[in-house]
Structure 1
Amino acid sequence: MRPIAADDLPCAIVRLDAEGRIVEANDLFAEWTGLPVAELTGRPFKSVRQRFAGVGGRSEGMVRLAHRDGSYRPVIVGREDSGDGAVLVLVDAADRAERERELMRSQALQERTRNRLELIIDSSIAFSAATSEQELVDILATTVAKAYQAEQSAVFLRDECGGFLQASGDNPLHGMPGGETLVAQASGLRNVLAVSGAAAADEVTPVLGAAMRGAGVHAVLVAPIQHDDLLFGVFVAFFLHPRQFDSEAAPLADALAGQAAQAITTLRLQRQLEHAAMHDETTGLPNRRRLETQLLEYGRATPALVATLFIDLDGFKRVNDGLGHHVGDLLLREVGRRLQEVVRQEDLVARYGGDEFVVVCEVPEVAAAEDVADRIRLAIGLPFADLPEGFPISASIGMSIARTSDPGWNPDRLIREADHAMYSAKNAGGNRVVGSSID
């Protein structure tokens, strides 16, 4: 049996002189470098290799061997030194290098996943602590920019007409037609839209590509803020640098948008409940509870002369009994509308209960309060379109006036005095104003 030659081995073998130059190499080494052995001879070994960046830095004993075509082959190097140089044994490590690269990708993915999970948890806590929609969308805009390392971000909420208004953040496409198209596109698709580069934006719509080029925006990510089938708005991340999106970009956007939508739903429900607790269901006016709260606030405000007008509808019972409660409700709503028309916007109009209303307003003098009361009486005495002839409506109004700085200021007493004065007006035949002031 013949001795095993260097070219029989499944590895590259190189002999170096004392200065690290190649003295001899087998055919496999020549194949891996793409250079003939004659050309390799005398060349420094370091000219055909470079260190390999592996997991956590440099992999022990691993280098990249350069090929003349510009490619590299990862190899593991064994070295045996001698007095006049060294012998190197190089083993193909492509499989090991690929495993290390896969491990690096896996570790990077795990790190990104951990960071994004922490971000989702932190944002959930922040969203739940928000006490207003404005605070919530400000948090969302900041969180989106941080999550995607975007230079700018913005949140758009739907208005009553179905359009979108910017509620928070910065929008570099503001005033450009493409900006509106971007928001409309995402809201129409009801899913996350990621656009990398103006050329990709052209495929969405040329006007968006033109807007991005004009504003220096390289990429955008848009997500609808929706809960079940209800769309609240969208958020947008703007990138002023080239950006490609990985497979986790859309799920993260969905998670942030979903959390924000749930928080908006909660805030709006809470606002509706608070409004319902303080407002009359039939007329939409503040109710008795809101009236009492407002009177307490008057007492803590700057000293002023305050008039409380207690209004009872003459003839309302005949409407309810003869025409039904539905017509009665229509009448109450119309009375509430007329009351709001004849007083100032800052004055309080409340439904006290039944067919009774209360108006509270600051006045410069008693005569001004009497003028307001008389305007109310005349407004209510006008014909009502929903009532047939034979059902006249008028108002008995009791008036109580006091200064908030007076020692006797008491909201309950103000209403009682106005209520008693109203009964005096009613007992006198109705359709009149009776005044009472607190000393």
Structure 2
Amino acid sequence: MLGLATCGLLMVDRASTILDANAQLLEWLNCERDEVVGRQLETLLTLRMPLTDADGQRPTDATLHGMSGVVRPVVVGSLGTTECGAERIAVYDVSTRSAFNLGFRGAEAKTERGRQRLQILLNAAVGFGNVRTELDAAELLVDVAQRAFAASAVSVHISGSDGLFHAAGVNPLAAHWPAGLRAAGTVTLTGGKVLIVRSPEEADTYVPGAGMSDIYRAGGVHAAIASPMRSHGDAVGSMICFFDHPREFDEEAVPLAEALSNQAAQAIARIRLEDTLRRAAMHDEVTGLPNRRLIEEDVTRTLLQGYSALTVIFIDLDGFKAVNDLLGHAAGDALLREIGQRLRGVIRESDVLGRFGGDEFIAVATVDNVADAEALADRIRASIAEPYAELPPVLSITASVGVVTVGNDGAPVMDQLIRAADHAMYEAKMAGGDRVAVAPVESAPIFQ
């Protein structure tokens, strides 16, 4: 009866009982004609709107329900009624159009994700351009990566003089990390590429034999993405994003992780370069020793972490002017360099030594007591008084040394300590030189 095949056709009576269906519709339903005839229309078609209203007939979106459970988006419309009162309904398959719409919406969503990630990268670039310390860069990377990946936790590790250390964020695996296993982030750092862990079992493939899957489960981690932090080919550290739930990673995840971690790496490299240049500018050109400003920085950084007593030794050379006058400034510079080497050989590697200016040097050291400080000052004096092969016998070099020592019962003010040691040195100079003079602690307000 219904021979058209360009669309599906149905015939229903006034009670919406199906009277007939064409071959195309039966193919879509994956059934025989007798399985359809006699059924109610709503068992096969779910209409968005009625086919007729006060304005007459109109097409509407609908869903065709196949016998196998597969659904198909369709558009249906009434073709009118026959002489016997049966209604003819046309059914058009729009699954191709729907697939296009889904794909288009997917493309729109992907574009929006790309826009959001680009904005994250642009904002991060501004932030990383303003950070002033390595730890600030690490903290910023944690914040940005956590938002970019919606991560449960982010851990950032930076390579330092003692190896890789945890710089910022939270590492949920830390409490379960086996003793003796390389520090977290090492595999990522040395591998030089982004690693994706989609399940605890997959973690075992990156560190075989370490039981990483058990560590992941103990830490409540289901998935992770880890990226090395590299700047101009140099390894700076690593970033790890952890997820406490199963997580899939799209094709943009790796480039995003690389971009963020490398932004942080470049910021850290810039900070390190700036620090190197700054410190280089605070070194004496002749001896290579720190100048006064760097001496104070080094004392604060390396010595004031805990000590029994702190001594400042002020050294002024006796007879240096005659070397410059008779042999020239080149010989004087060579002599200053040798004296710097002698002084470095007397004090410990952890102590601070610098050139104060002209023929003056300063040494700052931690000692156990005042007697040790005076003994160190005298060893310095004796080392300088040793003969110099490059100098003629008529020229002798000695030193006037002033020393001040304070206990660890307050915050020492370096400027006042240096002034007190300088005054003591002047007393040694006025007494004839080649000697040590000790400044009384009460001679200056050396605590703040």
Q: TM-score normalised to the size of structure 1?
A: 0.74
- Structure-2 residue corresponding to 1:79: 78
| Bigger mean CA deviation after superposition, 229-238 or 69-78 | 69-78
For residue 430 of structure 1, report the CA deviation from its aligned partner: 1.8
Post-superposition CA distance 1:187-215 (Å, at most 9, x none):
22211111212343343344333432343
Distance 2:387 2:38 in 1: 113
Is the contact between residue 400 and residue 418 of structure 1 (CA under 8 Å) also seen in structure 2?
yes
Of 19, 25, 37, the residue aligned with 1:23 is 19
Gap change, CA 1:419 and 1:79, over 3 Å in 2? same
- Structure-2 residue corresponding to 1:335: 343
Gap change, CA 1:85 and 1:267, over 3 Å in 2? farther
For residue 129 of structure 1, report the CA deviation from its aligned partner: 2.6
What SS does the aligned partner of 1:379 have? helix
Distance 1:292 1:154 in 2: 34
For residue 112 of structure 1, report the CA deviation from its aligned partner: 0.4
Gap change, CA 1:337 and 1:90, over 3 Å in 2? farther
| Bigger mean CA deviation after superposition, 169-178 or 237-246 | 169-178
The 5 Å alignment of 1:244-283 reads 244-280=248-284
Contiguous gaps of at least 5 residues in structure 1: 53-59, 295-305, 363-367, 402-408
What SS does the aligned partner of 2:247 have? coil
Is the contact between residue 343 and residue 383 of structure 2 (CA under 8 Å) also seen in structure 1?
no
For residue 185 of structure 1, report the CA deviation from its aligned partner: 2.6
Of 2, 7, 26, the residue aligned with 1:6 is 2
What SS does the aligned partner of 1:6 have? coil
Is the contact between residue 228 and residue 261 of structure 2 (CA under 8 Å) also seen in structure 1?
yes
What SS does the aligned partner of 2:167 have? strand
Distance 1:354 1:86 in 2: 111
Gap change, CA 1:182 and 1:271, over 3 Å in 2? closer
Gap change, CA 1:67 and 1:312, over 3 Å in 2? same
The 5 Å alignment of 1:383-394 reads 383=383, 394=398
- Structure-2 residue corresponding to 1:167: 167
Of 161, 186, 196, the residue aligned with 1:194 is 196
Distance 1:50 1:116 in 2: 40
1:35 aligns with 2:34: no
What SS does the aligned partner of 1:127 have? helix
| Bigger mean CA deviation after superposition, 121-130 or 319-328 | 319-328
Gap change, CA 1:420 and 1:241, over 3 Å in 2? closer
- Structure-2 residue corresponding to 1:143: 144
Distance 2:45 2:86 in 1: 18
The one-letter code sitting in structure 2 at the alignment partner of 1:332 is G
Gap change, CA 1:50 and 1:429, over 3 Å in 2? farther
For residue 64 of structure 1, report the CA deviation from its aligned partner: 3.8
Percent identical among aligned pairs is 32
Gap change, CA 1:372 and 1:118, over 3 Å in 2? same
The 5 Å alignment of 1:373-392 reads 374-383=374-383
Is the contact between residue 74 and residue 97 of structure 1 (CA under 8 Å) also seen in structure 2?
yes
The one-letter code sitting in structure 2 at the alignment partner of 1:311 is I
For residue 236 of structure 1, report the CA deviation from its aligned partner: 0.4
Is the contact between residue 283 and residue 291 of structure 2 (CA under 8 Å) also seen in structure 1?
yes
Distance 2:135 2:8 in 1: 68
Gap change, CA 1:199 and 1:292, over 3 Å in 2? closer
- Structure-2 residue corresponding to 1:105: 106
What SS does the aligned partner of 1:107 have? helix
For residue 381 of structure 1, report the CA deviation from its aligned partner: 3.2
- Structure-1 residue corresponding to 2:52: none
Post-superposition CA distance 1:103-144 (Å, at most 9, x none):
011101111001101111122222223232212211211221
What SS does the aligned partner of 2:3 have? helix
Contiguous gaps of at least 5 residues in structure 2: 49-58, 299-309, 406-412
What SS does the aligned partner of 2:185 have? helix
